[in-house]
Structure 1
Amino acid sequence: MPDADYAAYDGAAPYFDLVRGALGDRVDGAHFFDVVADDIIYEVLYDFPGWPRIVRGRAELMERFAGYSQHIALDAADNLVAHGADDGRVVVIEYQVHGTILATGVRYDNRFASIIRIENRKIAHWRDYMDSLAAWNALTARAP
């Protein structure tokens, strides 16, 4: 990560780097949080304990990801497939993340699809789909 201000998010760095790379020159900024609009709507279309269905604003999103990084350390994000739509104002990305649940040492592997709407060269809206069962199984598994 290029900025020490984002050190608290190191556990999610592979995810942030994958997203930033997928968006390329459609957005301005070096880090994921640099390319997020102050009034972003980050919507997850799954119920997951501890994570709200809708996160409103960059500050709340940063707070949520700080918590994520306290529980999960990602070592990779890969298998990216990106689809552009609406003259580049919408980007759909499919990808996988891989890491470890810090409390138990259990392996964490998950698949995602995210629909990203860009306005004024920032992420204005994010709609996320994931394999909820994979996350649940990793988070509820006992240490090996």
Structure 2
Amino acid sequence: MSDPKYTAYAPAAPYFDLVRGALGDLVDGEHFFDAVSNEVVYEVLYDIGGWPRVIRGRDDLMAGFRGYVDAIALRSADQLIVHQTDGGHVVVIEYEVHGTILATSVKYDNRFCSIIRIENRKIAHWRDYMDSLAAWNALTASAR
């Protein structure tokens, strides 16, 4: 994440690096946000306070992640499993993230499954599933 325009997103670097590595040469762009189309649809199939169910457009996705990195700092992302379908136009990734809720210093560990559609060598659509209970427990836990 050497591009200075992404410095503010450093707390999510493990996630961005994992995703970018998972997609390899299927997409163009060095950073996750460079690999996202301007018209991306980023859909989450869970309700977590403050995060919208659907984000449309790269600029709004970047704004959403600003809120994320203000709340959570990741120390790692791992356990990656990659499934390619439709000739590499659809990629399913399973992974885990590990970090800290900044307001409380509570440990945050979560599992995800993301379905990514690629068009014109950019991420066009993202559908995300996660362990909502793990997120809820971390976000509602008392400070330690």
Q: Which TM bucket (shorter chain)?
A: over 0.9
Flag structure 1 segments of 5+ consecutive residues without an equivalent: none
- Indicate the residue corresponding to 1:80 in structure 2: 80
Q: 3-state DSSP class of the match of 1:75? A: strand
TM-score (norm 2): 0.99
- Indicate the residue corresponding to 1:122 in structure 2: 122
- Indicate the residue corresponding to 1:56 in structure 2: 56
- Indicate the residue corresponding to 2:134 in structure 1: 134
Counterparts of 1:1-144 in structure 2 under 5 Å?
1-144=1-144
Question: How many residues align structurally?
Answer: 144
Flag structure 2 segments of 5+ consecutive residues without an equivalent: none
CA-based RMSD of the aligned residues comes to 0.4
- Give the partner amino acid of 2:84: G
**Distance in 1 between the 2:2 and 2:30 partners?**
7
- Give the partner amino acid of 1:65: F
Question: 4+ residue stretches of structure 1 with deviation over 2 A?
Answer: none
Q: 3-state DSSP class of the match of 1:143? A: coil
**Distance in 1 between the 2:114 and 2:64 partners?**
17
TM-score (norm 1): 0.99
* Percent pairwise identity: 72
Q: Deviations over 1:34-82 (max 9, x none)?
A: 0000000000011111011100000000000011000000000000000
